């Protein structure tokens, strides 16, 4: 057993990982046309504009540099090693990022903590408008990701795949999906037709997926008629979303979105009949007292639920760097893991992404909520010394929530 | 159809079906957005189109309008002839004209935008970003970019812009200064950046919703100019308080 520094410990473990697993790292297609970037653990600087001709070169670099994060460009370039302006952009994969941080989740992020920067008061969840103790408005946040967060991200990913296949006609064969190793999923589409689309065209794809600029009127919503459940594209999504919304909405929720009393009463009283009416032509014509404005408000809610909450910046960026599969995430010590699209529902990210399945380490945890890495739950901890399986220990160390005490040398 | 084929469009005529009553054609979505993305109007947004299995359903008139756009781009591309070298006398004249143009342009923009920053003329998006950051709350990367480029372009000094970010928990003076100066065209690529247009801000969730002036402009800087003009007519002696 040896006393070691946390940073050096992480570096050594990451080094071990790449030494052993570099062989499992596959380069992206057309590797020689891509830019690679490495965030260096020790120096904390980004090495960019790298390119590789062979898989071996790439793997050797990983072993030698031991980066905390490894990225490659979604773009293809004539000269990937040049400065941005001189690279010669040839095209780019269509990429999507779904991050639990960007979506409201049912757990309400109760596992996150905040600290007031001036009086050091702390609390759980998202920080308040003002510090309850000193009224200041500046906070330091510590974000965690729980299973509920990751489940929400998965649901959004499934919605995205549904839109891409049904509406955009893309095949899942052209897609590759991966768990990022932290808070969400990355989806890549490699297709010749799409590769040369510019940022403006990609923005149209984003707006479609998020439902931005959607006009219910242009999808046939009138005061007496509207789209049907089995329509394709946004028409059907509007109808299905509205059906689901009406099925679950309470009178209070309807009031919250600004419906007048009459409309709420009418919708609540005839709920059964309305839901039944979808079998014929939908409720659009039959509910008295629900004006076109009210329908617009309901449809707005429906659209919000039907849209997939992607990170809009990532998809419109045609020079984006993306994490390479089977490399480590510097903030968690988990690896980016390929996720099979057909069986995504059964996919367990926190189990599949474990990169250090063996050994244990003793660490001093400053603060951590209850969390899971692999099969087992750990925590919550506060200022305690604990012995944890290596993957869980590294998770806390990478998160900056713990210090290394000792590594059990006998199980290496 | 022939013209569309020339441009290798994936376009097919469709037979009237109960669900596709009003449409004449189905067009591959990539061909559609390449041409429709720059046409103004809500009805051209892909979000408002019928899209199934990668095809957008369109009327004959719509297909013609999209073809116009394709032809326009084709012609414009043809016009972009690369001239290898010109005689020095011509290059000199061009440079002289360029210089004159920039001088004149510099002047007009100065006349239009006053040297002091008029906060009441901010568009709603900038107002919200400004308030959020002033209270020390985090704003997205694109939000920071929008706010910074907006303020630089209406004449705020880089010093004052840097100060705005000072209240953030993760403030790093050296980094912020470099980035602000970079966006102001004082560092790196020497390009002075401008904020994204309204449409882009909507996509990225920066637009908080429109007010009356918003409906008449497509860019936050255009909003600022327009609002300044209305302020001037309302109160001719208003000073930059």
**Contact state of A206 with B203 under an 8 Å Cβ cutoff:** yes
pLDDT of residue B124: 94
Q: Are residues B144 and B212 in the same domain?
A: yes
- Which pLDDT value is given to residue A1? 40
- Name the nearest CA neighbour of B169 among A187, A258, A120: A120
**Do residues B65 and B123 both lie within one domain?**
no
Q: Is the pLDDT of residue B111 over 70?
A: no
Classified as helix, coil or strand, A195 is helix
Q: Are residues B129 and B229 in the same domain?
A: yes
Model pLDDT, residue A136: 77
Residues of A with a known catalytic role = 97, 99, 311
Is there a single domain that holds both residue B142 and residue B217? Answer: yes
> A326, A343, A328: which is closest to A66 by C-alpha?
A328
Interface test with A, best of B11, B26, B46, B66 (most A CBs within 10 A): B46
For chain A, say whether B141 makes contact (Cβ under 8 Å). Answer: yes
Say yes or no: B95 contacts chain A, CB-CB below 8 A. Answer: no
Q: Say yes or no: B29 and B137 in one domain.
A: no
> What's the pTM?
0.86
Check residue B113 and give its pLDDT. Answer: 62
Residue in chain A closest to B143 (alpha carbons) equals A313
Contact B159, B153 (CB under 8 A): no
Compute CA distances B199 → A207, B130, B145, whole Å.
Answer: 10, 20, 15
Q: Is the peptide bond before A380 cis (omega within 30 degrees of 0)?
A: yes
Same domain, B120 and B200: yes
A341: contact with B, CB 8 A cutoff: no
Q: Which residues of A387-402 are buried (b: 16+ CB within 10 A; e: fewer)?
A: ebbbbbbbbbbbbebb
Residue A161: helix, strand or coil by DSSP? Answer: helix
Contact A208 B51 (CB under 8 A): yes
Best residue in A128, A207, A235, A238 to probe B by mutation, most B CBs within 10 Å?
Answer: A207
C-alpha B50/C-alpha B22 separation (Å) is 11
Domain count for chain B = 2
pLDDT of residue A112: 82
Report in angstroms the alpha-carbon separations of B196 from A90, B134, B161: 24, 21, 18
Residue B53 lies in a domain: yes
Whether residue B143 lies inside any domain: the answer is: yes
Q: Residue B18 has what pLDDT?
A: 67
Residue B31: partners with Cβ closer than 8 Å, 6 or more residues away: B7, B9, B10, B11, B66
Of B33, B62, B79, the residue that ends a domain is: B79
Domain presence at residue B84 = no
The pLDDT of residue B235 is 61
pLDDT at A56: 96
Q: What is the pLDDT at residue A275?
A: 83
Instruction: Kindly state the average pLDDT of the residues B138-143.
Output: 88
Q: Is the pLDDT of residue B240 over 50?
A: no
| Residue B170 pLDDT > 80 | no
Considering only CB atoms, which chain B residues are within 8 Å of A232?
A: 19, 50-53
Look at A285 and B40; give whichever has higher pLDDT.
B40
Please give the residue of chain B at the shortest CA–CA distance from A84: B189
Q: What is the pLDDT of residue B109?
A: 54
Query: In the structure, what pLDDT confidence band is assigned to residue B79 with cuts at 50, 70 and 90?
Result: confident
CB contact B187 to A (< 8 Å): no
Domain membership of residue B224 (yes or no) is yes
pLDDT score at B105: 61
Domain for residue B100, yes or no?
no
A130 touches chain B (CB under 8 A): no
Q: How confident is the model at residue B241 (pLDDT cuts 50, 70, 90)?
A: very low
Q: Is B88 inside any structural domain?
A: no
Query: How many helices and strands (H and E) does chain A possess?
Result: 13, 18
To the nearest whole Å, the CA of B43 is away from the closest chain A CA by: 7
Domain boundary among B53, B79, B105: B79
Q: Answer whether residue B192 is part of any domain.
A: yes
Cβ contacts from A onto B, under 8 A: 106
Q: Does B62 touch chain A (CB under 8 A)?
A: no
**Do B75 and B120 lie in a common domain?**
no
- Same structural domain for residues B123 and B234? yes
Query: Considering the domain boundaries, does residue B97 fall inside one?
Result: no
- Minimal-distance CA residue of chain A relative to B9: A193
Helix pair angle (B124-134, B158-165), 10° resolution: 60
Distance from the A208 Cα atom to the nearest Cα atom in chain B, whole angstroms: 4
Domain around B178: 115-240
Domain boundary (B79, B105, B128) is at B79
ipTM: 0.88
Decide if A357 touches B, using CB distance below 8 A: no
Most confidently modeled of A10-19, B108-117, B156-165, B173-182? A10-19
Q: Are residues B125 and B210 in the same domain?
A: yes
Q: Are residues B137 and B189 in the same domain?
A: yes
Query: Residues B167, B234: one domain?
Result: yes
Is the domain of B206 the same as that of B149? yes
C-beta separation of A324 from A338 below 8 A: no
Q: What is the least distance, in Å, from the CA of B47 to any CA of chain A?
A: 4
A187 alpha carbon, distance to own chain's centre: 10
Find the residue in B nearest to A168 (Cα).
B54
Residues of chain A with pLDDT under 70: 1-4, 108, 286, 409-412
């Amino acid at each position: 057993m040896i006393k070691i520094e946390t940073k050096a410990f992480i570096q050594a473990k990451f080094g071990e990982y790449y030494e052993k697993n570099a062989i499992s790292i596959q380069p992206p297609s057309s590797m020689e046309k891509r830019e690679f970037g490495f965030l260096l653990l020790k120096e904390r600087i980004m090495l960019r504009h790298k390119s590789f001709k062979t898989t071996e070169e790439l793997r050797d670099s990983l072993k030698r540099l031991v980066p905390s994060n490894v990225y490659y460009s979604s773009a293809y370039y004539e000269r990937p090693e040049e400065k941005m302006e001189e690279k010669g952009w040839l095209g780019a994969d269509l990429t999507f990022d779904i991050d639990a941080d960007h979506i409201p989740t049912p757990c309400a992020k109760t596992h996150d903590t905040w600290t007031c920067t001036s009086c050091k008061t702390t609390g759980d969840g998202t920080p308040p408008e003002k510090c309850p103790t000193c009224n200041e408005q500046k906070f330091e946040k510590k974000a965690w990701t729980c299973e509920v967060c990751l489940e929400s991200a998965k649901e959004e990913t499934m919605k995205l795949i549904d839109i891409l296949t049904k509406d955009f006609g893309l095949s899942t064969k052209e897609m590759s999906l991966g768990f990022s190793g932290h808070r969400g999923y990355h989806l890549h589409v490699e297709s010749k037709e799409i590769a040369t689309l510019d940022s403006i065209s990609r923005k149209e794809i984003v707006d479609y997926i998020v439902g931005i600029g959607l006009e219910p009127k242009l999808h046939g919503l009138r005061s007496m008629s509207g789209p049907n459940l089995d329509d394709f594209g946004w028409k059907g999504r509007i109808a299905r979303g509205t059906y689901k919304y009406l099925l679950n909405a309470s009178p209070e929720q309807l009031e919250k979105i600004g419906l007048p009393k009459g409309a709420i009463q009418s919708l609540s009283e005839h709920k059964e009949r309305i839901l039944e009416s979808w079998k014929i032509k939908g409720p659009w014509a039959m509910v008295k007292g629900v004006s076109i404005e009210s329908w617009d408000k309901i449809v707005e809610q429906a659209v919000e639920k039907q849209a997939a909450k992607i990170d809009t910046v990532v998809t419109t960026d045609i020079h984006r760097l993306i994490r390479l599969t089977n490399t480590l995430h510097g903030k968690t010590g988990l690896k980016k893991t390929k996720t099979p699209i057909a069986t995504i529902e059964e996919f367990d990210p926190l189990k599949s992404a474990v990169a250090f399945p063996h050994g244990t380490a003793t660490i001093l945890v400053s603060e951590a909520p209850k969390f899971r890495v692999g099969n087992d739950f750990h925590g919550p901890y506060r200022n305690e010394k604990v012995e944890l399986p290596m993957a869980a220990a590294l998770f806390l160390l990478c998160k900056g929530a713990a210090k290394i005490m000792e590594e059990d040398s006998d199980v290496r | 159809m022939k013209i569309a084929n020339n441009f290798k469009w994936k376009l097919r005529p469709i037979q009237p079906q109960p669900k596709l009553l009003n449409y004449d054609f189905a067009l591959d979505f990539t061909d559609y957005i390449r041409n429709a993305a720059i046409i103004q109007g809500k009805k051209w947004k892909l979000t408002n189109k019928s899209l199934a299995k990668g095809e957008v359903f369109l009327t004959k008139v719509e297909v013609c309008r999209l073809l116009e756009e394709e032809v326009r781009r084709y012609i414009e591309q043809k016009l972009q002839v690369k001239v290898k070298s010109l005689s020095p006398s011509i290059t000199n004249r061009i440079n002289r004209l360029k210089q004159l143009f920039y001088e004149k342009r510099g002047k007009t923009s100065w006349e239009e935008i006053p040297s002091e920053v008029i906060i009441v003329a901010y568009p709603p998006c900038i107002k919200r970003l400004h308030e959020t950051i002033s209270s020390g709350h985090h704003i997205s990367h694109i939000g920071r970019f929008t706010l910074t480029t907006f303020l630089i372009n209406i004449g705020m000094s880089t010093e004052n812009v840097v100060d705005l970010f000072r209240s953030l928990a993760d403030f790093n003076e050296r980094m912020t200064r470099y980035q602000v100066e970079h966006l102001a065209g004082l560092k790196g690529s020497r390009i002075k950046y401008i904020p994204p247009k309204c449409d882009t801000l909507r996509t990225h969730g920066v637009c908080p919703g429109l007010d009356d002036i918003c409906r008449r402009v497509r860019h936050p800087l255009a909003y600022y100019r327009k609002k300044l003009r209305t302020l001037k007519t309302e109160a001719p002696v208003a000073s930059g308080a």
